[in-house]
């Protein structure tokens, strides 16, 4: 039986095969191979393998001399892979990154390579690798989110005194400062970062040492592995550990939520940048032209921000559908997790810097913003004036409503109505300072409590945001 007895060298690109009479067909291989996706886990695979070699030595499964050979071999594998070109990656025949690293380890370290996979399975290995990768990706994502928050904050600081309309139901509502509007987009990102930090805790649970499903029969020190690899805890159940992708779904949710927030920033800037609004001008750097209409300047970056949200939401719903109904333990369905995860991170890694750049280079037209605040937007302030004179709000609302109707009938704006009409509608308008009643700045300044749009409140808001940056 020369084939089984001859040598410890495994088949070229597969880690299994002893019990098979035939290898997989080309069609099966094409479907089954995950190397084109999981190749990017090579650093994590090497790091996990080095930690595992150490754990095997400490457990007495390999000698310390063998461990040294494995360590040196893995270091060489990493050094080789770090120089690989796209063409070299494309030419690798291996089933997945774990098979590839082990094959190269044979080349570097010889037969001792065959001892590394003792007590370990690709099931706990891939879960470990992808969690490790995600820990790094979460940090990068957090930094990108923070940078966008900074861009919003920098703009807000320039526009604490710029007055603009706010909208409810997309109808002019009340004046706010442009800073207040800008910061309204920074706080959702603060919540995203909180969610990311919380999800990170659940990502940082080590599956290694769970084996294929039932655990490891050798006395490896999982806590030491956890510490070596920078995890927070070890998984408490091996059956769960090899199947748990809750953390993938959670990260995909957080990223979908980020996508929704970026989409809403995009929508505001698209709308406010249109000729009809003219509140903002998106820099040429983040705009594109039309191949047909010479005058066009399109806010493509913001449209892509809006569009990519759909893709991120799709990633989340996809993984949930994949996980639903899986029997316990590892199933190959789980191989689908990485493509969704990588795609979501890649999408945000491309999108977030462009959104931050768009915000940083945004021109806010203070004159157009202020001009869009009409007197009707101060109707609530008129009612509040009556409230301060002792009129119940509901009644004040009705009285000012009559003034609004009168202005509509006269075809004038609210502040153009004759003063005696105000007094006729309510004697409490007698002696009022109409100049300041119709000053948007006064409306802003009145809203001085925490979370309000008054310049001082916004100043505090900026300080609060600075604290989370």
> Among residues 44, 45, 94, 96, which is the contact residue for ligand ARG, using CB under 6 A?
96
Instruction: Report in angstroms how near the CB of residue 338 gets to ligand ARG at its nearest.
Output: 6
Residue 375: other Cβ atoms inside 10 A: 19
Instruction: Report in angstroms how near the CB of residue 23 gets to ligand ARG at its nearest.
Output: 15
Instruction: Report in angstroms how near the CB of residue 366 gets to ligand ARG at its nearest.
Output: 54
Q: Which is nearer to ligand ARG, 56 or 242 (CB)?
A: 242
Q: Which is nearer to ligand ARG, 18 or 435 (CB)?
A: 18
> Among residues 10, 13, 38, 112, which is the contact residue for ligand ARG, using CB under 6 A?
38
Residue 6 burial by CB count (10 A; 0-12/13-18/19+): exposed, middle or buried?
A: exposed
- Tokens found for residue 457: 């409140």
Q: Which stretch binds ligand ARG (CB under 6 A): 122-130, 312-320, 350-358, 418-426?
A: 122-130
Q: How far is CA 172 from CA 265, 375, 441, in A?
A: 18, 11, 16
Q: Which is nearer to ligand ARG, 287 or 331 (CB)?
A: 331
Instruction: Find all residues with CB under 8 Å of 362, minimum gap 6, and list them.
Output: 155, 269, 280, 281, 282, 283
Q: How far is CA 342 from CA 38, 39, 56, 252, 425, in A?
A: 9, 11, 31, 10, 64
Q: Which is nearer to ligand ARG, 126 or 340 (CB)?
A: 126
Sequence-separated contacts (24+) of 276-281 with Cβ below 8 Å: 277/368, 277/372, 278/365, 278/368, 279/164, 279/178, 279/364, 279/365, 279/368, 279/369, 279/372, 280/362, 280/363, 280/364, 280/365, 281/362, 281/363, 281/365
- Tokens found for residue 142: 């957090």
Contact flag: residue 331 with ligand ARG (CB under 6 A): no
Nearest Cα residue to 346 out of 144, 146, 187, 192: 144
Contact flag: residue 238 with ligand ARG (CB under 6 A): no
- Tokens found for residue 30: 């094409």
Contact flag: residue 163 with ligand ARG (CB under 6 A): no
Q: Are 305 and 266 in contact (CB under 8 A)?
A: yes
Q: Which stretch binds ligand ARG (CB under 6 A): 120-128, 189-197, 254-262, 422-430?
A: 120-128
Taking the mean position of all CA atoms in its chain, how far away is CA 367?
35
Instruction: Report in angstroms how near the CB of residue 245 gets to ligand ARG at its nearest.
Output: 10
Q: Which stretch binds ligand ARG (CB under 6 A): 121-129, 167-175, 253-261, 340-348?
A: 121-129
> Among residues 34, 49, 163, 443, which is the contact residue for ligand ARG, using CB under 6 A?
34
Of 139, 274, 290, 436, catalytic: 290
Q: Which is nearer to ligand ARG, 96 or 147 (CB)?
A: 96
Contact flag: residue 123 with ligand ARG (CB under 6 A): yes
Q: Which is nearer to ligand ARG, 212 or 271 (CB)?
A: 212
* Count of residues that bind ligand ARG according to CB under 6 A: 9
Q: Which stretch binds ligand ARG (CB under 6 A): 101-109, 328-336, 345-353, 429-437?
A: 328-336
Instruction: Report in angstroms how near the CB of residue 201 gets to ligand ARG at its nearest.
Output: 23
Contact flag: residue 334 with ligand ARG (CB under 6 A): yes
Q: Which is nearer to ligand ARG, 213 or 387 (CB)?
A: 213
Phi-psi bin for 11: left (phi > 0), alpha (psi -120 to 50), beta? beta
Instruction: Find all residues with CB under 8 Å of 213, minimum gap 6, and list them.
Output: 121, 123, 238, 239, 242, 329, 330
Q: How far is CA 193 from CA 257, 346, 468, in A?
A: 11, 17, 10
Q: Which stretch binds ligand ARG (CB under 6 A): 53-61, 71-79, 119-127, 374-382?
A: 119-127
Contact flag: residue 126 with ligand ARG (CB under 6 A): yes
Residue 234: other Cβ atoms inside 10 A: 19
Active site residue 169: yes
Active site residue 428: no
| C-alpha–C-alpha distance, residues 196 and 27, integer Å | 39
Q: How far is CA 243 from CA 16, 169, 210, in A?
A: 21, 45, 11
Q: Which stretch binds ligand ARG (CB under 6 A): 21-29, 327-335, 403-411, 449-457?
A: 327-335
Interaction residues for ligand ARG, span 371-390 (CB under 6 A) = none
Contact flag: residue 122 with ligand ARG (CB under 6 A): yes
Instruction: Report in angstroms how near the CB of residue 39 gets to ligand ARG at its nearest.
Output: 11
Sketch the per residue contact string, 280 through 319, with ligand ARG: x for CB under 6 A, - otherwise. Answer: ----------------------------------------
Q: Which is nearer to ligand ARG, 122 or 385 (CB)?
A: 122
- Tokens found for residue 383: 């009612």
Instruction: Find all residues with CB under 8 Å of 163, minimum gap 6, and list them.
Output: 175, 176, 177, 178, 369, 370, 373, 440, 441, 444
Instruction: Report in angstroms how near the CB of residue 38 gets to ligand ARG at its nearest.
Output: 6
Which active-site residues does the annotation give? Answer: 169, 290
User: Which residues of this chain interact with ligand ARG, rule CB under 6 A?
Assistant: 34, 38, 96, 122-123, 126, 330, 334-335
């Amino acid at each position: 039986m020369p084939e089984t007895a001859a040598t410890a060298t495994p088949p070229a690109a597969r880690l299994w095969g002893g019990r098979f009479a035939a290898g997989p067909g080309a069609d099966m291989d094409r479907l089954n191979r995950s190397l084109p996706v999981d190749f990017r886990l090579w650093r994590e695979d090497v790091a996990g393998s080095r930690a595992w070699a150490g754990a095997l030595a400490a457990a007495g499964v390999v000698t310390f001399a063998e461990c040294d050979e494995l360590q040196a071999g893995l270091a060489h594998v990493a050094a080789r892979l770090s120089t690989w070109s796209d063409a070299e990656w494309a030419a690798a025949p291996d089933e997945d990154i774990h098979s590839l690293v082990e094959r190269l380890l044979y080349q570097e370290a010889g037969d001792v390579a065959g001892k590394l996979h003792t007590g370990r399975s690709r099931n706990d290995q891939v879960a470990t690798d992808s969690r490790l990768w995600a820990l790094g990706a979460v940090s990068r994502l957090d930094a990108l989110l923070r940078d966008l928050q900074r861009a919003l904050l920098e703009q807000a600081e320039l526009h604490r005194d710029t007055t603009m309309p706010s909208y409810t139901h997309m109808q002019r509502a009340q004046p706010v400062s442009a800073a207040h509007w800008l910061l309204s987009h920074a706080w959702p990102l603060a919540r995203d970062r909180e969610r990311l930090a919380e999800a990170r805790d659940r990502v940082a649970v080590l599956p290694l040492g769970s084996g294929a499903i039932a655990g490891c029969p050798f006395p490896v020190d999982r806590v030491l592995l956890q510490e070596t690899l920078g995890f927070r805890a070890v998984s408490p159940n091996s059956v769960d550990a090899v199947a748990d992708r809750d953390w993938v779904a959670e990260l995909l949710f957080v990223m979908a939520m980020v996508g929704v927030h970026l989409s809403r920033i995009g929508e505001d800037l698209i709308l406010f940048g249109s000729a009809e609004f003219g509140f903002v001008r998106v820099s040429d750097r983040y705009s594109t032209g039309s191949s047909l209409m010479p005058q066009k300047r399109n806010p493509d970056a913001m449209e892509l921000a809006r569009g990519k949200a759909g893709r991120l939401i799709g990633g989340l719903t996809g993984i949930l559908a994949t996980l639903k109904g899986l029997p316990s333990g590892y199933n190959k369905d789980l191989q689908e997790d990485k493509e969704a995860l990588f795609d979501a991170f890649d999408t945000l890694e491309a999108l977030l810097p462009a959104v931050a750049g768009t915000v940083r280079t945004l021109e806010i037209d203070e004159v157009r913003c202020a001009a869009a605040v009409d007197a009707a937007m101060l109707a609530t302030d008129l009612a509040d004036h009556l409230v301060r004179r002792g009129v119940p709000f509901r009644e004040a609302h009705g009285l000012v409503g009559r003034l609004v109707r009168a202005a509509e009938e006269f075809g004038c704006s609210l502040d153009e109505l004759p003063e005696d009409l105000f007094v006729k509608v309510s004697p409490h308008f007698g002696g009022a300072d109409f100049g300041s009643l119709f000053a948007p700045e006064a409306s802003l300044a009145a809203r001085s409590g925490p979370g309000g749009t008054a310049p001082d409140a916004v100043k505090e808001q900026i300080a609060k945001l600075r604290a989370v940056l």
